[in-house]
Amino acid sequence: MATEAPAQPRAADATAAPAPVAPQRRPWIVRRLRELVGSGGRVIGLDVARGLAVLGMFAVHTGVIAYEFHWLEPGTWSELAWGNASATFAVLAGVAVAIIAGRTSIPDGVPLLQARMRILVRAALIFAVGGIIVALGTELVVIIEFYALFFAMSLPFLRMPWWGLAAFGIGWILLMPQVRVLLVDGLRDAHMVDTAIVELALTGFYPALTWFGYTLVGMAIGRAHMERWRVQLVILGAGVVAIAAANLVPLALAPIEDFLLAGWRGRVQGTDLASLLDPEGHSGSTFDLLGSAGVACVVIALCLLTQRWLRWVLFPIAAVGSMSLTAYTAHALVFLLVDGFSADPWSWVRLSVGVVLGCTLWRALLPKGPLEWGLSAISRATSDVSSRAPAGR
């Protein structure tokens, strides 16, 4: 009987698709470096702007800034940090709120609830950090507690579009300085000026009632398509116009200052009414707020416009901005632990270089700063609300 020939193995089909190859995972140091220069989803321009604001506040706290600005004298340009650095920090608080609340997408339903919970928990934790710094008795005027209030005050505005936030922010800046003067005068008559709540809201170095206008401006920037260069140019132009108006309008009003303030003199007692027309930083006037908001817009716009070309140069400053709460707390501890630190003429250089190096090394190893990691973990855990309906409903 004839036997069958053994079956020959068939050749592999030439048209068969090749087996998928697992993508190679980049080394962790490469991933950290890519994130530092803005390739990991972060907007490095915002981190650079926040880092510059933090370093500017260091300059104010160490007393190295000049207190009289002249365009033709570069040695006086440090005066730009006075009032503007902290204002930029407050504007960037609004940008952060808008990012948490969905950027250009207006949240609703469960996402809105989650955003509100995250922002409220962050505000509470930041306020606690600021309270601890103040309780330790540093010589600084700490902005952290006021910064937390800006977060909490933003909750009713989370569903506004960018143009509504911009209009509200401008109106807030124009009106609230006058409202603050009237409120302080009324509370002074009621002997309530010295309470902690009044200090945070009205009489402190960063009064929340007026400074919240910065946060509304920042929310408008964060809600707009700030990744587009046309929007960045609009932000830049708006900042330049605001700076010009804040400095030129008081000059135009100077001849009629007494006439403008005549109606206030019999109504408000014990208040420096001239400060209502003063454009200098921390005067609390409309022109102070408008000019500082303009400086913040210019800084943010320039950082966004140049982030693609300068990210490899500025990533150490971006590292500071990406962990600004940790950097600010660290600098407060330096003032607490080192006696007479601000008396050293090189204190700002030493502090800035130390913080920049420390933040850069930390971010090269880990994705977040220690305080930022705690804020993110706790706020995300508390806002983990399920969007699914209960079973059987």
pLDDT in tens, 107-132: 898 899 999 999 999 999 999 999 99
Split at pLDDT 50, 70, 90, the class of 51 is very high
Q: Is residue 380 within 8 Å of residue 118, measured between CB atoms?
A: yes
Question: Which residue, 283, 296, 306, 167, is CA-closest to 242?
Answer: 296
- pLDDT at 9 (0 to 100): 47
What's the pLDDT at 25?
62
Q: How many whole angstroms separate alpha carbon 393 and alpha carbon 232?
A: 48
Residue 220 CA to residue 94 CA, distance in Å, equals 8
Position 67 scores a pLDDT of 66
Q: Could you give the residue ranges of the DSSP H alpha helices within the chain?
A: 28-36, 44-62, 84-100, 109-135, 144-153, 162-189, 196-198, 208-223, 229-253, 257-265, 286-322, 324-337, 347-365, 370-382
Determine phi and psi for 336, rounding to 5 degrees. -75, -40
Query: Residue range 319-341: average pLDDT?
Result: 92
* Predicted pLDDT at 272: 64
In a domain, 6, yes or no: no
Distance from chain centroid for Cα 240: 20
In a domain, 12, yes or no: no
Q: Is residue 9 part of a domain?
A: no
Count structural domains, the chain.
1
Q: HEC states along 266-300?
A: CCCCCCCHHHHHCCCCCCCCHHHHHHHHHHHHHHH
At residue 256, does pLDDT exceed 50?
yes
Distance of alpha carbon 286 from alpha carbon 172, whole angstroms: 9
What gap in Å lies between CA 104 and CA 223, rounded to an integer? Answer: 5
> Does residue 117 fall inside a structural domain?
yes
- Domain annotation covers residue 393: no
Which domain covers residue 115, as residue numbers? 28-262+271-382
**Residue 192, in any domain of the structure:** yes
Q: Is residue 118 part of a domain?
A: yes
pLDDT confidence tier of residue 283, bands split at 50, 70 and 90: confident
pLDDT at 17: 46
> Is 195 inside any structural domain?
yes
What per-residue confidence (pLDDT) applies to 35?
A: 65
Backbone angle region of 213, left / alpha / beta, with phi > 0 → left and psi within -120 to 50 → alpha: alpha
Query: Residue 206 pLDDT > 80, yes or no?
Result: yes
Q: What is the pTM of this model?
A: 0.87
Q: What is the pLDDT of residue 77?
A: 65
**279 within 8 A of 287, measured Cβ to Cβ:** yes
CA nearest to 297, candidates 202, 213, 372: 213
CA distance 145 to 131: 7
